């Protein structure tokens, strides 16, 4: 049981490290190109099912990833500002799959 949880934490740490590196590269490329590639949007994600610990981890991880910022939590909804959002709904689903489900798995 402890080994399984440790393995999930290591796997999540690797996933998050990759996300930070990719996001940093994306922001750096945007800064160095003559025209900006930004398409900002506000994303909404239902977080009513998360514990306070899971919510704390999710909001901090999203904020620490370049290009995203947790704005507010109101009535079970997390509002996130994303600098690069082609399709807000698809990106919201991606954040749920990539962050929230994995955080719930670890915590």
pLDDT in tens, 57-88: 999 999 998 889 999 999 999 999 999 888 98
- Residue 49 is predicted with a pLDDT of 94
- Average of per-residue pLDDT across 54-59: 94
Q: Say how many CA atoms lie within 13 Å of 57 toward its Cβ.
A: 18
Q: What pLDDT is stored for residue 37 in this prediction? A: 80
pLDDT of residue 1 exceeding 90: no
Q: Read out DSSP for 4-73? A: HHHHHHHHHHHHHHHHHHHHHHHHHHHHHSSS---B-EEEEEE-TTS-HHHHHHHHHHHHHSTTEEEEEE
pLDDT of 70 reads: 95
């Amino acid at each position: 049981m402890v080994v399984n949880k440790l393995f999930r934490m290591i796997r999540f740490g690797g996933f998050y490290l990759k996300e930070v590196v990719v996001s940093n590269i994306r922001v750096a490329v945007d800064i160095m190109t003559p025209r900006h590639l930004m398409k900002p949007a506000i994303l909404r994600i239902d977080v009513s099912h998360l514990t306070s610990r899971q919510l704390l981890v999710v909001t901090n991880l999203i904020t620490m990833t370049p290009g995203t910022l947790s704005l507010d939590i109101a009535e079970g909804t997390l509002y996130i500002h994303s600098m690069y959002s082609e399709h807000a709904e698809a990106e919201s689903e991606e954040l749920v799959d990539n962050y929230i489900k994995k955080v719930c798995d670890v915590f």
